[in-house]
Amino acid sequence: MTTNWKKTIAQMILLIGLISFAFWFALKDDYQEVLHNLKSVSLVWIGIIFLFGILYYLLQGYMLYTITKPYKKDVTFKDGCYNAYIAAFFNGVTPLGGGQVAQTYAFRKLAISYQDIASILWKEFFLYQSVVVGFACLLIMTHFTFSIHTFSGYFLLVLAGLCINASVILILWTMSHFPKLYTWISEKVVSLGEKFHIIKKKEEILEKWNLQVEYFTKEIKQLKKDKRLIKKGVIIDLLRQIIYYSIPYLVGIGLGLPLSFEDIMTILLLSCFIHMLNALTPLPGDSGWTESAFILIFSVPFGKIYASSIMILWRFATYYLNILIGGCIFFIIKTKNA
């Protein structure tokens, strides 16, 4: 058996184990009540909930299509959606996320150069991550007192996750504005690694790093000039976040919970908490961790039975359904013109 196959099987075993733990945690005490709640949801509501889960990736596909268009005139919306779903599949089944590697593979199938692919993926990531951090800060700042009093046990972890997400943007921003600083830091780090015999070929590594910093600085300056793309990206990515964060609200309505329109802001906040907590784990698809965190946090306003019921449908709509679609699309892409 090849190393790649062994690695894939190990990852699948890990993923199945994590998913099994998540469902055990959700059902271990109240499985009859949870299953009764799930049976009460109509097929119409299930369709609406799943549609919102799909719409999240269709919007990402549209954003990828928009960014790719200047680099490849004949790219289609379908190509963008395929790419988004391939990323969803690999981010969902590989530790630390292998989505961008798979996206590169899919874009190469469209005869796009590696340099252009790097530009496309970087712009899409930077715009999305900026909106994620900005929206999270807005939700947490406007509900800070409520959050710290109601979720004191988890709130510091949420803030830690927010700091990790924000640090990515901060590092990228400072790298583009102070490239000489990062060149100096890289020289010190590589020299230290060479001293302890961890790094070999110091000059070659430094040359590659300096080229990456130079390329990145050029790309961010180009993006800053494209005001139209920035505005479109912010609107689309903000809509994506609202759709993703509001899915538990739709599930609650489908379960018959007496939720008001005002409750949607609380649910957006709690969904944001889950998103920030996911930054603390390298697990494939954050499986096990996400489901457990969801139940613990949503149990505060809804109780464990309803939190578990909401989690199962929410997770199917946002994760299981989309990695299934992404896996099928990747198989199509891989076999096409193979």
Query: pLDDT tens digits, residue range 129-158?
Result: 999 999 999 999 999 999 998 888 789 999
Tokens matching residue 117: 């692919």
Q: What is the pLDDT at residue 1?
A: 44
Closest CA to 252 of 305, 309, 320: 309
- Give the Cα separation of 248 and 275 in Å (integer): 13
Dist CA 296 CA 26 (whole Å):
10
Q: pLDDT digits over 203-254, tens only? A: 777 777 777 777 777 777 778 788 899 999 999 999 999 999 999 999 999 9
pLDDT at 56 > cutoff 90: yes
Q: Which of 39-48, 72-81, 94-103, 113-122 has the lowest mean pLDDT?
A: 94-103
Of the candidates 272, 273, 237, 281, the residue with the CA atom closest to the CA atom of residue 129: 237
Report which of residues 48 and 196 the model is more confident about. 48
Statement: residue 18 has pLDDT above 70: no
Is a pLDDT exceeding 80 seen at residue 16?
no
Residue 28, pLDDT score: 67
Mean pLDDT, range 92-98, rounded to an integer? 69
Q: Is the pLDDT of residue 286 over 70?
A: no
Return the closest-CA partner of residue 306 out of 1, 30, 13, 118.
Answer: 30
Q: How far apart are CA 331 and CA 326, in angstroms?
A: 9
The tokens describing 295, both together, are 């139940």
pTM of structure: 0.85
Of 13-22, 77-86, 218-227, 328-337, give the lowest mean pLDDT range: 13-22
Exposed, middle or buried: residue 276 (CB in 10 Å: 0-12, 13-18, 19+)? buried
- In degrees, to the nearest 5, what angle opens at C-alpha 162 toward C-alphas 157 and 164? 95
Q: Is 337 helix (H, G, I), strand (E, B) or coil?
A: coil
Count the Cβ atoms, other than its own, within 10 Å of residue 314.
26
Of residues 19 and 125, more confidently modeled: 125
